[in-house]
Amino acid sequence: MTKPMNITEKILADHAGLNEVKAGQLITAKVDITLANDITGPVAINEFNKIGVKKVFDKERVVFVPDHFVPNRDIKSAQQVKQVREFSREQELEHFFEVGRMGIEHALLPDNGIVTAGDIVIGADSHTCTYGAIGAFSTGMGSTDIACAMASGDTWLKVPSAIKVEFNGKLNKYVTAKDLILYLIGDIGVDGALYKTLEIGGSTIREMPMDGRFTICNMAIEAGAKNGIIEPDEITKAYLKDRSIRTPKFYTSDKDAQYEKVIVYNTEEIEPVVAFPHLPGNTRPVSKAGDVKIDQAVIGSCTNGRLSDIKAAAEILKGRKVHKDVRLIVFPATQQIYLEALRAGYLETIIEAGGAVSTPTCGPCLGGHAGILAAGERAISTTNRNFVGRMGHVESEVYLSSPYVAAASAVAGKIISPEAL
């Protein structure tokens, strides 16, 4: 008789060919998808070539998405993408996404059904943990680890212990999934789940659409977690239906599974949250933000670049104007989301308000391009990190928020609650 296991342990055990696993155990597991981008991809390719194998383990399961410095920022970034492009062609990979078809990797892969429930996904990008929203074990690794998995189809890792987090109750007006995950990180700290599973549930989550679930799992790494994961339910299954290119496998945690601890929050006590510089855990309610003037507002990224996020921004901006001293930049996460937002009129609203809309890219989130901050400038952003120099100069500041708060702040010229407009 096997021991009770949580959802993460079950996925790892099955992929390792074991009846059971336990926290702290070292395992070798089969991977379903490997992922790299235009920054991490060239490093992985160079290491793959050193191994001496001629072909990747499966041309349908090795994925490259150039999204960080694209459209190409400069000659160096163009060379990086060229290397990834040529390798993908040589290997006849099924999934390489060029400008015009690409999107931000962590929105593109689930929306295109490339990752699915029950998968093990490893990516040379820390926010690979996003796919836990569909019930996959997904985590970031170094480019060398990705290279080895590209060659063998295997990876090794230590089974993480788990923290269970429950959000219960109805969301208050203008409170979103972004506020919940910022609240959690602010409570437990940026190392509060170091190399652990954050298993997220509760009545709030069970009623939450997929967009919000992706946002929450995307930022699990900001609490130090190895992975974030949400048990699949009918909402998950509806999202994956007619989308997944492989058959999903739905795992659930046993009722008597063991957790390191269980944290329970009353969602009705949470208001919109802002993370102040220079950590995602440096949070406070927007009502206590004080007088923080901003120079730039960014709405987009793998955290909040989905259709509901663009809609939220348009809802706030409708009939209003962006403050004359603020640059508002909006990045839909994929071409499909861009098109849907265009057809729905959201982009027209944003542009009429004085915002700029860009093609999908990670650019401003990592201080890469298309929105870099100068010394002394402040930005409010729906991205996932606000470390020193994250979006530009080391003397700039980044404040993290939901699209509602970012859009309202763009109008006001300072950080405010949407209810204050």
Looking at residue 115, what is its pLDDT? 98
Strand 196-201 with 161-168, pairing: parallel
Q: Which band of pLDDT confidence, cut at 50, 70 and 90, is reported for residue 310? A: very high
Q: Which band of pLDDT confidence, cut at 50, 70 and 90, is reported for residue 74? A: very high
Helices (H) and strands (E) in the chain, counts: 14, 18
- How large is the average pLDDT for residues 116-136? 97
Residue whose C-alpha is closest to residue 67's, from 33, 129, 109: 109
Is residue 18 packed enough to be buried (19+ CB in 10 Å), middle (13-18) or exposed (0-12)? middle
Alpha-carbon gap, residue 91 to 75, rounded angstroms: 24
Q: Which band of pLDDT confidence, cut at 50, 70 and 90, is reported for residue 332? A: very high
Looking at residue 223, what is its pLDDT? 97
For the stretch 32-70, pLDDT in tens is 999 999 999 999 999 999 998 999 999 999 999 999 999
Looking at residue 364, what is its pLDDT? 86
Q: Which band of pLDDT confidence, cut at 50, 70 and 90, is reported for residue 1? A: low
Q: How far is CA 46 from the centre of its chain?
A: 26
Are 382 and 321 contacting, i.e. CB atoms less than 8 angstroms apart? no
Q: How far is CA 141 from the centre of its chain?
A: 15
Handedness of CA 199, 203, 204, 209 (dihedral sign): positive
Q: Which fold has domain 273-420?
A: Aconitase; domain 3 (3.30.499)
Alpha-carbon gap, residue 121 to 147, rounded angstroms: 14
Alpha-carbon gap, residue 141 to 160, rounded angstroms: 15
- How large is the average pLDDT for residues 66-89? 95
For the stretch 350-395, pLDDT in tens is 999 999 999 999 888 888 899 999 999 999 999 999 999 999 999 9
Are 218 and 130 contacting, i.e. CB atoms less than 8 angstroms apart? yes
User: How long a stretch of residues is the chain?
Assistant: 421
- How large is the average pLDDT for residues 241-256? 95
- Mean pLDDT, all residues of the chain: 96
Establish whether domains 7-264 and 273-420 are of one fold: yes
Alpha-carbon gap, residue 260 to 82, rounded angstroms: 46
Question: Residue 137: left (phi > 0), alpha (psi -120 to 50), or beta?
Answer: beta
Task: Please give the model's pTM, rounded to 2 decimal places.
Answer: 0.95
Q: Which fold has domain 7-264?
A: Aconitase; domain 3 (3.30.499)
- How large is the average pLDDT for residues 218-242? 97
Looking at residue 2, what is its pLDDT? 81
Residue whose structure tokens are 């298309």 = 370
> How far are the Cα atoms of 129, 162, 226, 382, 383 from residue 219, in angstroms, in the given order?
8, 16, 11, 11, 9
- Show the tokens assigned to 344: 């729905």
Alpha-carbon gap, residue 415 to 290, rounded angstroms: 8
Strand 283-285 with 154-158, pairing: unpaired
- How large is the average pLDDT for residues 251-264? 96
Residue whose C-alpha is closest to residue 313's, from 355, 369, 343: 355
Q: Where are the domains of the chain?
A: 7-264, 273-420
